[in-house]
Chain A
Amino acid sequence: MNTETLQARLTDLVLADPDVVTVYPVRPAALEIASHVLSAVIPGHDQRPKVVLSNATAGTTAEVSVGVTGERSATAVCRDLHDSIHTELTLAHATPPLNITVKISSIA
């Protein structure tokens, strides 16, 4: 599975959590705006902020920043997201170690 497909799958997985309101960009805002502009001129370009994934021989890194509802404990949601991403990366045979960063950036 290529990185973009896996990124999209991880993003869908994160957004499927009922306690997640939104996924925020991890990259600098300027890059996100550039991506947004690209999406306007390139049909099919996925503009959503997503789980950022990088593969290397030294391991795999996944990073995501989210806003949560606040209904359930933010700490519990954060751990659950980590575990879901870990499971998905393991199933996708991502190169270990799996370094996963999950940040709660807003609590509604």
Chain B
Amino acid sequence: MTAPTPQSTSNAATVAALNPANLDGHTIEELSAYLDAERTPTNFSIESSPGCQIALTALGRLRDLTQRDLETQAAAEPAPADSWVQSIMDRIALEARAGRDIPISHPSTTARLAVSEGAVRGLMRAAGDSIPGVIVGRCILHGDVTVPGEPITITVDISVAWGENLHDAADRARSAIYRQLLKHTELTLSAIHITVQDMRFTRPRRTEIKES
């Protein structure tokens, strides 16, 4: 198995994320605007698309997680033109698409049960984001997930808040992702690789200020 180079992955991801076909005809910018408008008026096409729902959930979580970061960044330095937030939004758009069907076993030969790759990527992203200080960037499942028992390797890029222990953050993200995959899928996991891709400045929480 040859892993794509980071540069080629990044370019492919950007191109794919800009393709509305990946989100049932919608773009990540449209979804972001829809979220801004508090999902009113109801857009039936968005609300009935699993890809859009996964992307909206991830976007909402990303906003909550980065609100403090962005305020701090804005005070500390000019926002870069192609910020990491935009790159994560692009990843969300790309990864929310349905992707491959990951089979779920059943004794009946006429049963066709599956969980979509998009649902699994959304699950991994939520698990990683649940770790304090961690925001998940790229999530990739390497290997043929459509074949039961095939060894699968997971690659996840994370951003970690300044001051967090990197090893600890990566270990906790890995454990959280592993637990969720074990609970919700029948994937045969051979490895979960976590890469800390960047660190972010964050404003200390009120409790942290009081404690110090």
Q: Does A15 contact B (CB under 8 A)?
A: no
Residues of A within 8 A of B120 (CB): 107
CB-based contact A106/B119 at 8 Å: yes
- Residue of chain A at shortest CB distance from B25: A29
Chain A CB within 10 Å — which of B111, B112, B120, B186 has the most?
B111
Interface of B is mostly: mixed
User: Is B48 a contact of A107 with CB atoms below 8 Å?
Assistant: no
Q: Mark B100-129, 1 if CB is under 8 A from A, else 0.
A: 010011101011111110111011000000
B113: which A residues are within 8 A, CB to CB? Answer: 75, 78-79, 82, 101-103
The answer to whether the Cβ of B53 comes within 8 Å of any Cβ in the partner chain is yes
Q: Which of B98, B112, B123, B186 contacts A100 (CB 8 A)?
A: B112
Contact call A29/B114, Cβ cutoff below 8 A: no
Q: Is B57 an interface residue (CB 8 A)?
A: yes
Contact A75 B112 (CB under 8 A): no
> For window 70-101 of chain A, which residues contact chain B by CB distance below 8 Å?
70, 73-75, 78-79, 82, 86, 97-101
Closest to A79 in B: B106
Which residues of the other chain, A, contact B5 by a CB distance below 8 angstroms? none
A29-B25, A73-B184, A75-B185 in contact; A86/B118 too (CB < 8 A)? no
Shortest beta-carbon distance, A9 to chain B, in Å?
20
Would you mind naming 6 contact pairs between A and B with Cβ atoms under 8 Å apart?
A75-B184, A79-B104, A101-B113, A103-B114, A104-B119, A107-B120
CB distance from B61 to the nearest CB of A (A): 11
Q: Which residues of B183-205 have CB atoms within 8 Å of chain A's CB atoms?
A: 183-186
